[in-house]
A and B are shown apart, each in its own frame.
Chain A
Amino acid sequence: MAKKRERLDVIKDILRVTRDNRQIKPTRLLYASNLSPQMFKEYVDELLKKEFIILLEDKKGKKTFSIAKKGNDFLEQYKIIENFIENFGL
């Protein structure tokens, strides 16, 4: 059985897809994240609140997500953070 993704891995996956797509629609990000809609909403709300991603809305009301500076910083440091957390059992 595949190991359940850790919270930090899910965040990394969402951020990576958002960064690679520059701007991504919520539905596409939901499919790419491989989460249930409810879990997806929780993660996205958290990422928006922590300013890792931003929600853009054009004149027609079409919504897209884009990565913010904090999100980019997180991805750059992800390996170091993951290593630290796992080596200290945090």
Chain B
Amino acid sequence: MDETQKTAETLPVEQPLPGADEIMLNMGPQHPSTHGVLRVKLKLDGERIEGSECVIGYLHRGVEKIAEHRSYQQFAPYVDRMDYVAAVSNGLGYCEAVEKLLGAEAPPRAKVVRTILTELQRIASHLLWLGTHALDIGALTPVFYCLREREEILKIFEKYCGARLTTHAFRIGGLQYETYDGFERDVKRFCDDFATKVDEYEQLLTGNRIWVGRTKGIGILTGEQAIALGVTGPPLRASGVKWDLRKAQPYAAYDQYQFDIPTGQNGDTYDRYLVRMEEMRQSRRICLQAIENIPTGPIMAKVGKVLKPPPGEVYHAIEAPKGEIGYYVISDGTVQPYRVRVRPPSFINLQAFDTMARGHLVADVVAIIGTLDIVLGEVDR
């Protein structure tokens, strides 16, 4: 049997058809709207979705297993490759978790620089989400605008640490690199340019009848459902739960800055869109406040070259662009972690897909996958 035949044979759903009117439809794993390799099995009554099942794992690389065979520092670059469009946030969570385990704390200057870079990363991640989400639904223009602005952020990352995507920007204990000359100027320039940009995107979409028609009332998740399903990040806030780890359990330097937590009421795709748009404005606000006053001083705490955290365990979570990313790290006193568990926001948010999709039409699947803002590298790890 050759390869093509075999794939065709294994792909269709094995169960017999449940009723005459119901059909099973397979979507993905190679489908442009699934943002990676996600396969969704849909149970349909006509065009209406009666149930669904996500098949994941195509990008599984065993990140947690790798962690047990690397030293604490060696594992840090691997976390960038989970949510590869928000690598800086992943790195921040991991570094802070290990710092907590060591009982160390990054110096104030490092904390502020971390905050700036993480907020820039949040804007970059939301921009990529907005561009692709709009593209999925049929609006072609926003993606060009979004990638244009995202490029400026990636340039700042590149100037800072040499990498654009998988940055490995932070180290356990602080930062490896001092900021370059003109770092503040670059961030300031970006923030000034960005001031009117979110309004520009909103002009394209917010009142657009097609956009409203495709997103309003689609994929509704109530606050109770969201909490019960463990959904975090913008989807939770769009359901009316005012909760953000940056405020609830502040880390890095977030307790020093003023910002608001946007929420929605309806928990639909449109509200999630509005929440993320407002989050970009708030991130810009944080960046502007932070560059005003970056403290001077060391950028690295004294943690030593060989890290041997005292035995024990720690769970540390931060607010990544996609939701709560948590690291549960266990030390047995050696140079390698005994266990590293990543609590992936995309994975847990994707679980809500079935609840959100039921009762909607096939065309809405694309909107619902887009609005969850998943990255398959993180879902599968």
Partners in one complex: no
Interface of B toward A, CB cutoff 8 Å: none
Interface of A toward B, CB cutoff 8 Å: none
